[in-house]
Structure 1
């Protein structure tokens, strides 16, 4: 029996006794690009961090291919929000990407020629080969994001979590990310992406989760990403301009 990449059951999280996620239950299908969408404070980033055990859960279970995350770390890649990273750490782009190989090496084996080859290959896939020796503090925001994507690629995971990878990036980086997501999908990987630009949801994602403390809807984008569901998710915080009853532009009030 083949297990699903990610199963979350009755997961709840609170910060200082305030519920941030309540009874979140879902099963992520294999080989899909999944957008996680909702208003500010809806718990989108919290969902990823709680699933990975980076923050404590009040309740609930999470399994990755049928086992707890601690037993399946090798199968999981994580791209955090760019602002959560210490970019002043004295290291270059190539070394950051090679960090993605450490799980394959074990604690005491140093990365060698093969790890460097893989890291350079991943840098090439995100268009950053020429920046391999550049200190990460000297890179632009978009370039830093691409380096972290390359690190996740180098890990060669089966399940990826990406927390707002499109925020604050230039058009070239956004295109590089989309190309990368397409490649991961072709390889049969499962990718969950916290995303804020509702205008691109239909273009980018096969499935979508509408989240506001609890899951409003979760499923194929064409059936879930509808005007009534968006209004349920965002309440009165949105103006929806539509054409032929299809949401095309959403603006915060």
Structure 2
């Protein structure tokens, strides 16, 4: 029987007794690019961290291909928010990418030439081969993001979580990221991406999750990413404009 890459049932999370996620349940189909959208404070990053056991859950079950995450770590890749990383840590780009191989090697076995070649191939896929020996603190924000994507590739996972990979990157890096995501999809991988730019959701993703503490909807973009459902998700913070039947969305800052 085929099991889904990710299944979450009745997951709740709170910070200092304030609910951040409430009774979230969904099943993720295999081989899809999935955008997770919602207003600030909706629980998007919390969803990923709770699923990976990085923060405690009040309740709920999470399974990766039918088993607990602790038993399936090798099948999962994770790209955290760039600002959550200590970029002053004294290491170079290649070493960061090689860290993605540790789950396959075990922590006490040193990576050899085969792992180094694989890591270099991952750097090549994100256009960063020439920066392999560069200290990560000397890289631009977009370059740092590419390095973390290469590390996720080195994990050779089946399910990927990416927390705001497009934030603060240049246009070339954004194009490189979406090209990479589509390559992963072509390989049958499943990718969940926390995303803020509503204007690119239809272009970038197959499915979309609408989240605001509770799960408001989850499904194929053409069915789920509608003006009514977005208004429900964002409330008064979203204005829908319609120009010649082409809808566009503006976030209200007040």
Fold equivalence (TM over 0.5): yes
Distance 1:36 1:5 in 2: 16
TM-score (norm 2): 0.98
Corresponding position: 1:16 with 2:10: no
User: For the Cα contact (< 8 Å) 2:13–2:59, is it kept in 1?
Assistant: yes
Shift of 1:188: 0.2
Distance 1:108 1:84 in 2: 26
TM-score (norm 1): 0.98
Q: How does 1:1-253 map to 2 (within 5 A)?
A: 1-253=1-253
Q: Size of the alignment, in residue pairs?
A: 253
> Can you list the C-alpha shifts for 1:194-234, whole angstroms capped at 9, x where unaligned?
00000000000000000000011100000000000000000
> Can you list the C-alpha shifts for 1:119-156, whole angstroms capped at 9, x where unaligned?
00000000000100000000000000000000000110
User: For the Cα contact (< 8 Å) 1:12–1:19, is it kept in 2?
Assistant: yes
Q: Following TM superposition, where does structure 1 have runs of at least 4 consecutive aligned residues deviating by more than 4 angstroms?
A: none
Distance 1:247 1:232 in 2: 16
- Note the residue ranges of structure 1 that are not aligned, 5 or more in a row: none
Distance 1:249 1:19 in 2: 28
DSSP-derived class of the 2:13 partner: strand
Distance 1:244 1:187 in 2: 38
User: For the Cα contact (< 8 Å) 1:226–1:246, is it kept in 2?
Assistant: no
Distance 1:218 1:245 in 2: 24
Shift of 1:106: 1.1
Distance 2:148 2:37 in 1: 22
User: For the Cα contact (< 8 Å) 1:199–1:250, is it kept in 2?
Assistant: no
User: For the Cα contact (< 8 Å) 1:226–1:247, is it kept in 2?
Assistant: no
CA RMSD of aligned residues (A): 0.8
Shift of 1:244: 4.9
